[in-house]
A and B are shown apart, each in its own frame.
Chain A
Amino acid sequence: MTKHEVTLHINGEDRTLVIRHADTLLDVLRLQCGLTGAKPGCENGDCGACTVIVNQLPYKSCIMLAIEATGHTIMTIEGLKHSPIQRAFAKCYAFQCGYCTPGFIMNAHAMLLHDTSIDEPTIQEWLESNICRCTSYEEIASAIRMAMSTMNANLPDNSKPNSPST
């Protein structure tokens, strides 16, 4: 099996790796980079447990080749520290077995990077990409609301979308 050297930019670091072109990003992250936060749940793009953020957008790393990600900025759950969404997942008991959690958190984080004042249909549209079998989803919904409100509260007043100008 032919292998090639590539450099991926992951969690702020350049990682030079020897991979097959047919290797998925998920396999390379887990087996070569030791970044096991992204999980294989279906390897078919259906469950979202492997979600990582590439250039600010969530991607299912099982349906992306690692080589496609060269030249792009990759962030995995290991690169996310003390974020509002992680704190909210902790506080709201928005996980049980924890296997889908990195994928949910990365998707939700990308959504909140995108916009912190989104409505319920938009949240649903983003989050229905992931499957959680343990919780009732109500816990995850609470976590999203909590993260949104902390993020909005932390914004300087004049940057709040609807705050009256003084």
Chain B
Amino acid sequence: MIPIDFQYVAAQSVAEAIRQYHQFSTSDMSTRYYSGGTEIITLARLHQLTMDAVIDIKPIPAAQVCSIVEEKLFLGAALTLSQITSHPMMSRAFPLLQVAVNEIADRTARNKITLGGNLCGDIIYREAVLPLLVCDSMVRIAGPNGAKEESIHRIFRRTMQLKPGEFIVQIATDKIYRCAPFFHVKRRKMGKVGYPIVSAAAIRLQDNIHIALSGVCSFPFRSRTMEDWLNQKHLPVHQRIEEAIQIIPPELILNDYEASREYRRFVLRTVLEETLHQLGSA
């Protein structure tokens, strides 16, 4: 039961969504774009999120795209995680994303959670961003000032840096990245459903490892300095990993009900070892 009231509209096109947003804003209504809506509903129930209106972007055809054009894979922001994992093309087109999103929440919830929703959420893990970070994906954004395409690295700094009225329509990813050798691992406290202690997505490109992490800090990240250490092949694996972990300011490593800071660091070490090993960089 959601204690607050808000107005719901479904947008049929990008233009209509933008127009609606503008209309609500001029009436002084706080507005959110709504995709899967799972996080909006759960946080609103607990008084942790409030708004006057939501604009559902699911009906927008451009946000439902799943296609390859000139070796670029375009994925609509309103695709559900289940659609991404079950799409017959995905195991070849972007297997890393497929396996990564398949570990988020549970099968039934993934029928509702969308790619865009996971990327833009408040939940600190946002694991769908990991494959995009290591694959240098491009983000297609619609907003009051028209459409734009930005590198994920410019637009995602700890959280999605969207301006008022903007929303993600699509993610575009080049073949060279999405078809590269990859590795994904998610370590939980226990069991097969739940948030990560550490989850990692990695690819090997031109003998270098790209890796992005969630669960370690209160935001997902990819660190070039960390990768530089991990890719110092003349050093022993143990040292590469220790140096890479040293990059993370200790106080930024989470210490909570999922795991203590010290144990997280241990898990991170094992995850990095496994990643290097699996991607032939050990």
Contact = CB atoms under 8 A, between A and B. Distances in A.
A77 interface: no
Given A2-B5, A21-B5, A129-B106, A44 B111 contact: no
A5 interface: no
7 contacts: A22-B6, A44-B42, A45-B41, A64-B41, A67-B8, A128-B107, A129-B109
B2 A22 contact: yes
Given A22-B44, A45-B38, A67-B8, A58 B1 contact: no
Contacts of A2: 5, 7
A125 B7 CA distance: 35
Nearest to A3: B5
A59 B112 CA distance: 7
A129 B108 contact: yes
B37 interface: yes
Given A22-B2, A63-B42, A64-B37, A45 B7 contact: no
A65 B41 contact: yes
A60 B112 contact: yes
Given A59-B112, A128-B192, A129-B108, A68 B42 contact: no
Nearest to B108: A129
A145 interface: no
B147 interface: no
Contacts of A68: 8, 37, 56, 58
A128 B45 contact: no
A-B pairs with the 5 shortest C-beta distances? A129-B108, A129-B106, A21-B8, A22-B2, A63-B38
A142 B41 CA distance: 35
A60 B44 CA distance: 16
Interface string B4-42: 111110000000000000000000000000000110011
Nearest to A22: B2
B112 A64 contact: yes
Contacts of B109: 45, 60, 63, 129
B247 interface: no
B118 to A, nearest CB: 13
B108 A60 contact: yes
A107 B42 CA distance: 21
Interface in B62-106: 82, 105-106
Contacts of B8: 21-22, 65, 67-68
A63 B7 CA distance: 17
B41 to A, nearest CB: 5
A20 B5 contact: yes
Q: Give the most central of A1, A68, A126: most B CB within 10 Å.
A: A68
A57 B83 CA distance: 11
A124 to B, nearest CB: 8
Contacts of A43: 1, 42, 45
A124 B193 CA distance: 11
Contacts of A126: 107-108
Given A45-B38, A63-B38, A63-B42, A129 B5 contact: no
Interface string A1-37: 1100000000000000000111110010000000000
A76 interface: no
Contacts of B5: 1-2, 20-22
Interface in A43-74: 43-45, 48, 51, 57-60, 62-65, 67-68
